[in-house]
Amino acid sequence: MNAKQLKTAMTRFIWGSEVASLPWCKAWLISALRVSYVVVYDLAKGQLTLQAMSLVYTTLLALVPLLAFSFSVLKGFGVHNQVEPLLLNFLEPLGEKGIEISGRIIGFVDNVKTGILGSVGLALLIYTVISLIRKIERAFNYMWHVKRSRPFAQCFSDYLSVILIGPVLVFSALGIMASVMSTAVAQKLVAMEPFGSLLKVASQLLPYLLIIVAFTFFYIFIPNTRVRLRSALTGAVIGGVLWGATGWAFASFVVTSSKYTAIYSGFAILIMFMLWLYLSWLILLVGASLAFYHQHPESLTTDRHELQLSNRLKEKLSLLVMFLIGQNYYHRRPAWTMEGLAQRLRIPMETLEPILEALEQYGLLTQTGDEPPSYLPARPLETTELKDVLDAVRAAHEVSHLNVQRLPAEPVVEQLVDHLDQALAEALQGRTLKELALSEPPPVTSVSQSPQQQAAPSNNPAST
């Protein structure tokens, strides 16, 4: 079997069957292989690496202000002395260079005095910190195919609360754990077997558990979309394992990199630090990508290029969307979100989004103010004709400088186009969205919806 035949056989094995019809063990294996395929493809395409490199640059600018801001908050609670050990733990793969870098960073932080900075300097300090987190949010939004970022006012309130409260909670928890381990009861448990061995193993695993918890928090909080805990935890576990394995490999590389130190001299420390930052951000983004594909298996496709919908597919999708939304509206079921519709129709959200935008711009749909927003009919369905739905997607994205009216007018072609429009109007004459929505009974269950987060149909301004 040559390489081409092997590739064809592997593609058929991974993508040639429906996961839902397979036994659970084989379905799990196929799903894992599909996720691995698309993540490796995303890495090879280069966007993940570009996002990671941009975050390295932003981190270098904002690391000291971020630590200084957190340090000043932690100092008020008396737990600021734990910042340096945590930084040392992060830089542990750098070996002795990590100790040197940690000492210099803490020295920079100590030199940042808010009293000397003044109000303008303090404002710039806060802005730098928020800009870092906003940059991280954009990278995570890219992983989750989310185009809308949080408004700046919401960013300011959300991020500032995390920066103020997050470090206090983390270091307080670490302090409580250290206090508990130092009690007489804990010391007696350490002296007893097998509790002593179990506690020793737990203490060795604790840094990795903290990394997994931190990754899970990042994946849930930072993207401007609703992330399920199970998906975030899946990405965090795999990301934490990758981070631990990469740290071990990078530490081995640093030990054997004496020739690079001789070549780059004093710059070797900075290069190693930037390289470790890059690998850390890349692993964090890979975990976010894994979490996305775990939550959105409909985005797992063998063709990773940007999907281009045919006109026929656009028209059918628009009718399906209006059918589902109208059906739930008339039967007083929870309104659909974009994620729910994508899962119900089994297509990626980025493919469905232009269809929803076209229907919304044409005045057929409206969004609720929820987060994430739900979609409701924007006009009475009993007076909205099916032809309006097709017209919405057929005329979508036409601009003033390039539309039907600006094309050369050839009588034969104009007559043919008018004939097609007339035939379509006659075929759908008198048929409304209400007729379409009530043509079938409502589905019994719909796993793709989130009723607790979606708006009730009674909020729709359209008349029933």
Per-domain boundaries in the chain? 7-44, 46-299, 311-459
Query: pLDDT-based confidence at 365, cuts 50/70/90?
Result: very high
Q: What average pLDDT does the segment 145-165 reach?
A: 72
Query: pLDDT-based confidence at 450, cuts 50/70/90?
Result: very low
Query: Exposure string (b/e) for 333-371, b if CB count within 10 Å is 16 or more?
Result: bbbbbbbbbbbbbebbbebbeebbebbeebebbbbbeee
Contact 144, 218 (CB under 8 A): no
Residue 12 or residue 212, greater confidence? 212
Percent of the residues in the chain that have a pLDDT greater than 70, as a whole number: 74
Most confidently predicted of 31-45, 196-210, 394-408: 31-45
Q: Is the pLDDT of residue 207 over 80?
A: no
Q: What average pLDDT does the segment 49-64 reach?
A: 86
Specify the pLDDT at position 155.
Answer: 73
Please give the Cα distance from 155 to 451 (Å, whole number): 26
What's the pTM value of the predicted model, to 2 decimals? 0.72
Most confidently predicted of 136-150, 219-233, 403-417: 219-233
Q: Quick one: fold of 311-459?
A: Arc Repressor Mutant, subunit A (1.10.10)
Q: What average pLDDT does the segment 343-360 reach?
A: 88
Distances (CA, A) of 390 to 66, 165, 382: 52, 51, 16
Q: What average pLDDT does the segment 92-98 reach?
A: 78
Structure tokens at 12: 């058929």
Specify the pLDDT at position 456.
Answer: 40
Q: Is the pLDDT of residue 283 over 90?
A: yes
For β-strands 365-367 and 374-377, DSSP reports them as: antiparallel
174, burial (CB in 10 Å: exposed 0-12, middle 13-18, buried 19+): middle
Query: pLDDT-based confidence at 264, cuts 50/70/90?
Result: low
Mean pLDDT value across the chain:
77
Q: Is the pLDDT of residue 287 over 90?
A: yes
Residue 459 or residue 361, greater confidence? 361
Among 17-31, 348-362, 416-430, name the one with the lowest average pLDDT: 17-31
Query: pLDDT-based confidence at 455, cuts 50/70/90?
Result: very low
Q: What average pLDDT does the segment 174-191 reach?
A: 57
Among 128-132, 250-254, 443-447, name the one with the lowest average pLDDT: 443-447
